[in-house]
Structure formats: C-alpha cells, structure tokens
Amino acid sequence: MSVSFSLLSSQTRPFPPPFPFPSKSKSKSNRHFLLPHRTSTTSTCPSSPIRRRLLLEPNSTHLSLRCSSSMSVENSTPTSQLQDSLLFSRAYWVSKSIIAWNVDVGDGSCFLFASKTAALSIVDDGVEGKDMQIKLEEDSCGLPENVIRKFPHIQDYRAYKVPSTLDAKTLLKCQLAVATFNSVGKCINVTGLQLPGVLDELFSYNGPLGALYSEESVSLHLWAPTAQAVFACIYRDPVGGNPLEIVQLEEVNGVWSTKGPKRWEGCYYVYEVSVYHPSTLRIDKCHVNDPYARGFSSDGRRTFLVNLDSDTLKPEEWDNLANEKPDILSFSDISIYELHIRDFSANDYTVHPEFRGGYLAFTLQDSSGVLHLKKLSNAGLTHVHLLPTFQFAGVDDEKENWKCVDTNMLEKLPPDSVQQQDLITAIQDNDGYNWGYNPVLWGVPKGSYASNPNGPYRIIEFRKMIQALNRIGLRVVLDVVYNHVHGSGPFDENSVLDKIVPGYYLRKNTDGLIENSTCVNNTASEHVMVERLILDDLLHWAVHYKVDGFRFDLMGHIMKSTMVKAKDALHSLTKESDGIDGSSIYIYGEGWDFGEVAKNGRGVNASQFNLSGTQIGSFNDRIRDAMLGGSPFGHPLQQGFVTGLFLQPNGHDHGTEANAGCMLAVAKDHIQVGMAANLRDFVLTNFEGKEVKGSEVLTYGGAPVAYALSPTETVNYVSAHDNETLFDIVSLKTPTEISVDKRCRINHLATSVIALSQGIPFFHSGDEMLRSKSLDRDSYNSGDWFNRLDFTYNSNNWGVGLPPKEKNEKNWPLIKPRLADPSFKPQKIHILAAVDNFLNLLRIRYSSPLFRLKTANAIQERVRFHNTGPSWIPGTIVMSIEDGYEGVPGFSQLDPIYSYIVVIVNASPTEVSFACPALRARTLKLHPIQVMSTDELVKSSTYEGSSGCFTVPPRTTSVFVEPR
C-alpha cells in the first residue's frame, strides 16, 4: 500500500535544505543481560551471557553505540552522534494528542518528523529525508493522570501537544523522530518514538484474529497497525516448495484480513509484513507466523491452517471430558506435582521407544511412570503441573536431527568425573532436552513431544495426554511463559511478535532498548493488545485442550490487572457453552518483584504482595528458605531448620552459637507462618514471646514474611525444577559425616511440612523418590542424563558425574568429594521407603478436611502453634487444628472422623519430649496411617494424656488425632 500524507498541520513548515548525510550503518544494539539474582526459583534462559547483536547492512561499518540514559545532548554534540540517536527511542507518543519527552526546549523549538521510506538522517542544521514535519508545542500542564497511570516510569516527562488535525493513523506507518532545535535553528536533540500508548488509543481491537473457519471459507485476520503491506503466502507442504498462492490482505483500522477458499484448510502459511523496524532503521519485509497460530509445521517454519473444532482432531469421547474430570470441590483441596514431559518417560524402558519423552507416554496404562502417577493419585494428589508445552526454541522438532551420548559409556565413568558433563554439554543444544522457558509462540503444542511435528499429530496427541491424565484422577496445569519471548528483531527465526508490530509487544527501557530482566525480550502486558493475546491464549488452552490450571512463569512481570482479567475470563467458562467448567481452573505463579516492574515501576504488577485478595496463588519462598537455609543464591552450606542449623552444624560460619540459635528460632517463625498458609493477619506467638501477625514477622531483608489473605493464595514448596533437588540440597547442607539414612529422613521431613501445611502444597517430581541431579543447580539444558527419573526405583540418579561446568564449577570443590563418597548414594531400599512415606503424607492430608481449611478465618480460629516463645525446645514445631461438634456452640464441625489433630515436627537429631498443658487430657492417638507405616521410627511416637506429653523420634513428623 502507498502511504498518503494529505493531512498537513497548519504548523507544518519546511526546514532549510539539508546537507548531504554521510553513509552510515542503520543498526541497533540488542543487548542481552545476565539473568539477575532472584529471591526465589527462576525459570532459566539459555541466553544469559552479555552480548550485543548488530544488524548491519552489507558493506556497512559498526556504529559506536552510546547507551547512556541521558535524555539530552549538549549544543556541541556532533552531527554523527545525533544520527546515532535515531537508534534510540527516548520519546513516547503516549496518546493521539501527546508526545512525552524528557527534554526542555527553552526558547528553541520541537518538531515531529516522518518518513514513509525510513530515510530520516541528521545534518548540521536539520533533518533530511522527511516526508512531513510537525511543530510541537509544550503543554505546561504536563502529562495527564491517565497517561501517568499507564506509564508511571515517565511521569516526570514533559508533554508536547500533537496537532488535532494530524492523520496519526497514517503517520504511525512511518519512521518517526522528534528533534529539538535551539533559537538559531541548530538541532541539539533527536530520538525515535515509542508508540504503544498511541497504538492502544487508536487501534485497540476486540474482533476476530487468527484463522477462522466456516463451511465455505477460511479467513485470516492480523493486527498490524504499523505495517505498510501484508501478504499471506499459502503452501501445500510444511517445508519447501513454492507458494500455492500469495494473497494481499486488506486493512481496516489496523487489522489486515482476507478470505480464502475452504481448500486452504490443511495447508500452511506465513505472512510477509512490510513494516518500519526501529532496530534496523529500515522498512523491512518480515516473514513471520501468525501470532494466533493454532498449528505449526516442524520448528514453527509455517503456520498450519487447522480447525481445532474438527471431529477428526478429537480423541474418542473428547467432548465429554469435562464430565469425566476428577472432582475438585475447593481450591484448598489442590495438591500439585511438577513434572517435565521428557523427564517422565525418556528413560522409561517400559514405554515403547517411539513414545518415550512425548505426549503419548502418558496414555499408557501399565508403564512404570503411569503406575507411579496412579499411586500418587490414589493417595490424594490432584494436579500434575507440566513444564512448558508450547512451541519453544532450543529443541529441534525433528528427532532425526538430535545428537546423543552413549549412556552405557557414561555409566562406566566415576561418579565425580568431569567427563559426563563434558560429553553432555558438547551436544546440549542439539539433543532433545530443554525445559522450554524460551517461547517462540504460546498457542501451539511443542512439536518435539509429538510423534510427528507436522500436520495435526501434536494437537491430537496433546489432547490424548490430557484425557489420559484426567482419567487416572489427575487434573493438568500448564506452565505458561508470557513474560518474555525468545526472539526479537526482523531477522531472528524465533522472532514473531516483534516482526509484526515492532516496538509494541516487547517492553522497552527509557532508551528504547528491549528490557531483558526476565532473561531476554520482556513482554509488556500493560499494552492492550499484549494483554488480549495473553487472555485469548489462556482461553484457547482451556477450551480447546480442556486444561485445569495455569502456572505463570515470572508472574510478577505481568500486570495485576491482566492476571485478574485472566482469572475472571477463565472462571466464566461453562460446560454448556464452552465444554469446560472454568470455575475449577486454578492459577498461580512466581510473584517475584524485580527488574523494571519492581515496586510497581510499570504499573501495579502481579507480585506477591499486590495479589492479596485476588484468589491467585503465588509461590512462598519464605518457607522454602527457612527450611533449607539461606536462599538459592546464598552460600550453599548455609543451613536451615531441617538441614542442621544450630542442632547439627556442618562447619559453615553461622556466627556465634547464640546467633545460630536465634537464626533457628526465626526460621521456625517463618515456617509456622507458612504452615498457616502465609496469611498476613494470622496471629501467633513469635520466638521472643510476642503476639504478632504474620505480616509483622519479617524476613532477613526486612520484608514481611506473610502476604496472603486467603489460603489458596499461598503455594508452599521446598523444591522445584529450578536449583538443586531437595535431596541434593540436603546432601550439600548437612554435615558430611551423617549417614545416608539420616539424609533420606531429612528429605522426608521437609516434604512432610509442605504436605501438612494449610495452603496449596507443591512438590517437584522425584522428591518422593530422593531424586538427584548429581548436584546440578540449573539443569534446564543438562540433557536426559542429569535429569533422569527412574520410576522403577532402582536409582535416584546420584553420582552420575560432576554437574555441568557453566552453572556449577565454582561449587565443584564442595560437590566432588560428596559425589565420590559411596556412602552418600541411596539404595533401592531407601527410595522405596521414601515413596511409601510420601504416599502416607498424601493420605494423611486427605484423611481430614482440617488440613485443607478454606478460609483465613477458619485457619485463625482453628490452627494454633505451641512450643513458642523464648523457652521453646529448639528444632520442634507443634501445630494443633481443632474441629467443632454438631449441636455444640463454637466451631462448626468439618471432620466426621477426627475432632482434633496435632502435628509435631522434630528436626533435631535426637528424640524430643514436649509437654503442653493446653493439650492435656485429650484422647490423642498416632494417626492410623502412621501406625501402619513401614517407618519403624514414626511408629514409636507417643502421647501421654495425663501430662499432655508427646515424644517424637529424631527427624520425624508425627501426626496425632483425636477420634470422635
């Protein structure tokens, strides 16, 4: 299409003829920063080293980029540096009528320039290559409140008025720049523009997007308001060949559309989008997939035209699945098991080789992995959380391209050898393994997990996986990564969103460079159409794949309003209209507050504290750190409540003995708050003997421990895919001289606290089997070898070599002697005992609704902690939960079997006895499940009613119940 400039402002006037501009490369730095330290688990991205990528024209020279945050250039600034300033976008077109820029014109002037061919350049006394220039006057009132709410990080910028007569919609298809001139007409500042504000105002759209199917036709719809032209190239095959057709789309108010014949269905297509891209300072022709794609060819080369409502894509009885799903009466009844699709079956020899590592492995009925999941489900587990399943980069969809290492050779190497990691890392970017936190596009299942990445196979097989898991009693949570995308720019093969509307989908800093605090290419849910894409994608997975929940990676980088809208939209789905009961869909995520969004820097974000009262869950890192010690980014030997702090020192300097004892007491308070669902208003007695609320218990950094207003807003955990496994961290932090039997007990002790706490318990797959990754702290790309799960219980994968050098080398001196010592390795008898103990924990949790209280008020009324204050018995937590009686004033009756429950956690290496007058004369007995346990130690736990005295063995959690 041709761009018309018919509407000129009366303030538009020509400048003097420009001088010729010397040839320069039109390039831009795309900087990838180191992944920041976080106070919690993080999703690891492979693009962490600092690097710059320059997009250069042929025969061009490198530009010296000055990434200063300064918003002004002195009068003496040379023209060449001003030209470099076009690579940045330091001004914001925030609404149709306002441009925000942090410069003071003084007695000079400010102009907006546009070029439909991207020909702008700076000369000594002006701007060359412009098709239009518009004078801007400063608005002395500053930025209006609605703009400040949307862009709080530029609230102090000056406001420049855009003439109301300007044809902004047409202008937005051009290269744009603003410049200031001094009183004698010399250019002193120039920069490009960030456009999301004005795009949201002029082009927000709620009509159809993606491919739509009718009985007669297929129509395509693409939101691309800054594009100058859009074509759809239709192909018969997933790769190769010439297009069957090349169709030009027509634009109406920023949305490009076309209607094609029904025969397009089953074909593939890509868009050719001609658009100005600020990273190249050019009009680029970008070949790109549909952001609303619902199918792909292998590796996302082309978008597959597939109608998900077609009966041929549905497994038998698929439309009835909503009625087959296991019941979930309350979100408080949820328990979550985090699992990676490839980990589940890649090493399971009871699975057919063609199914290993993929969707179809879940459809088998008698594989070792499925039999294990059935055990968990029968014991009470409700949800399986699958690590990313959308189309991500880092794993080739075509299995024939994968490289592998001979595992027979690896198994012969010493347990502390450097060779295993050398061989694994040599192929790590060419094997079949990656966690998947590097999204290409969100709406299509990953092709590498399917039997065939082309055609409809991935869709059908994904649905079969969901159906199979539901039928063994497990609901399915998808791990969604809306906070960043893997690719950006006009040429990256993994770039999609940034090719279609450059500068809109990705969050920029005040220089106009992409924010990378999440890892790389942060997305901006505060922009209307980014939020819409996220909401549409969630609804797509819920309706078309009938998933039961969503876990949001780095949820704090998404706006709170987006998360609330997501919850409301999902909960509005019904069986009658959508084939799914949306009210049963649970959402939770990582509410970490860091980077450019910290402290509401880009609006109210979905951080832990901001989400209170929303019924959206967030991970509780406080209970994890208090139990294990320190944080994932602290010293690896720092001990915590269950790993020997004060009670069994490991030689690490924790200060004086008194200091270590105080640390243990503080950790106990943090854990107790977590066991009460991390409720900010829960009242307890702290280690000093003071009555305090959960929000008045502080972390070592001074932030409140508690943040939740509802128990389902807290997801308690001690281990996840990130960082070392539970068994590995226990093996690092405990004294080297203790036995493997005791480490196994500590593993179980930590899991028991999570299983018996109020709130949502979350378990990393394999923790119940003493899973090890050979002490790898970040196994996102460590291959099947370091991530192996063995559902035959023969091995926990300890001692399979030093973990990969990149993330672990500094800890090799600690790791090597532990891996080399055969006494650290659990035997099958340990693994079987751990599995049995874990199943018992689930059975105990689901034996009484008192472990799953639904409201903050119920927890405050019924849950009490004893053994508190300065005279506490170190290392012991005593929690009671009280029920009422029918017909008796006071508490309502929730449990028909037990009227009172006492949980005692003894983390010390010796037996403890604790007498509690408040618990005297009750008819408490050891829980029947523990009485029948294969754990002889827990069976020796006792209670004496006359004195109210409990005796609990070392490193044991004992549960006592009062039968009605």
657 vs 663: CA distance, rounded Å: 10
Amino acid at 2: S
Answer whether 396's CB lies under 8 Å from 301's CB: no
In the annotation, is 776 catalytic? no
776 phi-psi bin (left φ>0, alpha ψ -120 to 50, beta other): beta
Neighbours of 67 (CB within 10 A): 12
Amino acid at 68: S
Amino acid at 161: K
Neighbours of 76 (CB within 10 A): 6
SS3 169: helix
Answer whether 91's CB lies under 8 Å from 151's CB: no
- Assigned token pair, 129: 């290559």
Antiparallel, parallel or unpaired: β 760-764 and 714-716: parallel
Please provide the size of the chain in residues. 964
95 vs 109: CA distance, rounded Å: 21
Listed residue (43, 61, 60, 63) closest to 52, CA to CA: 63
132 vs 14: CA distance, rounded Å: 8
646 vs 655: CA distance, rounded Å: 10
Evaluate the CA torsion angle 367, 372, 376, 378 in order and state its sign. positive
Distance of CA 720 to the CA centre of its chain: 12
644 vs 749: CA distance, rounded Å: 12
Q: Of the listed 84, 548, 553, 895, which one is catalytic?
A: 553
345 vs 367: CA distance, rounded Å: 9
User: How many CA atoms are closer than 13 Å to the CA of 628, on its beta-carbon side?
Assistant: 32
Q: How far is CA 628 from CA 643, 708, 823, 852, in A?
A: 6, 22, 22, 24
- Assigned token pair, 913: 């006895």
Class of residue 2 by CB neighbours under 10 A (exposed 0-12, middle 13-18, buried 19+): exposed
210 vs 410: CA distance, rounded Å: 47
Helix spans in 867-964 (H): 928-931, 936-939
35: CB partners within 8 A, 6+ apart? 42, 44, 45, 48, 519
Q: Of the listed 201, 515, 590, 895, which one is catalytic?
A: 590
- Assigned token pair, 455: 């055609």
Evaluate the CA torsion angle 161, 166, 172, 175 in order and state its sign. negative
Answer whether 395's CB lies under 8 Å from 448's CB: yes
In the annotation, is 962 catalytic? no
Q: In whole angstroms, how large is the CA radius of gyration of the chain?
A: 30
SS3 313: helix
- Assigned token pair, 308: 């998900």
49 vs 523: CA distance, rounded Å: 20
Q: How far is CA 708 from CA 551, 585, 608, 704, 757, in A?
A: 17, 19, 8, 11, 14
Helix spans in 320-456 (H): 321-324, 341-345, 368-379, 407-411, 419-427
What residues are labeled active site? 553, 590
